[in-house]
Chains A and B, each alone.
Chain A
Amino acid sequence: MSVKTLMINGQMVSASEDQTLLDVLRENGIELPTLCHLDGLTPIGACRLCLVELAGSNKLHPACMTRITEGMEVTTHSERLVKYRRMILELLFAERNHFCSICVINGQCDLQQMGYDVGMDHVRFEYQCPAVEVDASHERFIMDHNRCVLCTRCVRVCHEMEGAHTRDVMGRGGSSRIITDLNQLWGKSGSCTGCGKCVQVCPTGALFEKGRSAAEVVKQRDFLVYIKTAREKHLWIQ
């Protein structure tokens, strides 16, 4: 594996060629908010929170999907990037019901934490207040679409890790919805194995276990990298 040198916020940094820019940034202690990305799942570059500037390009690039190249010059926290990140979070908070006071994972939520990280003390946009559903038909889990940010982590984990592909996305734009099977109730799904992986990866209170209070919720995500590594290195068959 060859080693590349890049310049991050004016600092020289070396990294191995198979790393994404996001890996390198994290390794060097530079934190970016990420919502759609989760170690172990295929990156999709959808939330746009991890956008960075690259010298010589007039576009912004999602760090989670950017391959590093020799001599790459990266800026991660320019004034406009910081502003854009806050605006994107404001858009998300205004899109559906993200009132933390009545959320089962208040205090454990990635979205909430990101709001704190960017110093979002209020949302300047109008709250859209759509009427969306809660699916409590599954015997152990609940899907509350009010909290969903459409990051599709659940869709990807179900497809890539569990192999069930119970979840998918339906509709377009603001009316997009995460669905189970062909838009059936979760409790009626024939493909869901009840593994709970989707619940673990969900960054918000959209997917949660029944009968647990906010303080008891701990999202476990290490299993992703664990399974992925085992799979890639064929650790099952050894």
Chain B
Amino acid sequence: MDSIMGTETPGNANHRARPRIATLWLGGCAGCHMSFLDMDERLMDLAPRISLVYGPLVDRKEFPDQVDVVLVEGAVANEDNLHHLQEARKKSRLLVAFGDCAVTGNVTSMRNTQSSAGVVMDRSFVENASLHPGVPRSGGILPRLLDRVIPVHQAVPVDLFLPGCPPSADLIFYLISELLEGRSPDLSDKLKYG
């Protein structure tokens, strides 16, 4: 588990050769990450073969350079999401839209039926508030919402799409294994939405 949860040790030739994998958590419920953990004992198979260098499962603040594969969970809902995604795209070779929210916007994007972020903020912090209605104003606490929630591929180029809410652990394992084998995973007969 150590090497999966931790970061790789620079300078260790053995570790350096392992593909550097990152995960990113945007506007989603973390279910896709849970499904990742649901790979259970297969995580043990993967552990020696990859380096998990960034993500909610890793204690690291900055998205590192030279990532081989990044799995992006969640839709792009606010400025932070957008910023992190763009950063990840710049620093990663292969970007996977990971789960329905990333692929379609899914539940996260259902606020798009409202005309703008302002309406959504009002609805959440004023109309439906029972105590102290009011939109929080002090800067830097909450990231600013985008007017519309968008799927990952509408913000940055995406290399692979892995739909599912969440994608099953089997599929995730398949995808990573194929990538490790140097093959491009073919999901066309394994699609599942929802």
Contacts and interface: CB of A to CB of B under 8 A. Distances in A.
Interface of A: 93, 97, 99-103, 106-107, 112, 115-116, 119-124, 126-127, 129-131
Nearest to A127: B105
A205 to B, nearest CB: 10
Contacts of B177: none
B194 interface: yes
Nearest to B111: A129
Interface string B147-165: 0100101100010011101
B112 A100 contact: no
Given A101-B100, A112-B193, A121 B109 contact: no
Contact of A127 (B112, B187, B194): B112
B51 interface: no
A134 B112 CA distance: 17
Given A127-B112, A129-B109, A129-B112, A119 B194 contact: no
Contacts of B105: 99, 127
Interface residues of B, number: 28
B107 interface: yes
Contacts of B151: 122-123, 127
Interface in B146-194: 148, 151, 153-154, 158, 161-163, 165, 187-189, 191-194
B110 A99 contact: yes
Given A101-B106, A102-B107, A122 B194 contact: no
Interface in B82-116: 97, 100, 103-107, 109-110, 112-114
B107 A99 contact: yes
A126 B109 CA distance: 12
Nearest to A116: B191
Give 9 closest A-B pairs by Cβ, nearest first.
Answer: A100-B194, A101-B165, A129-B112, A119-B188, A131-B113, A121-B161, A100-B193, A101-B194, A122-B161
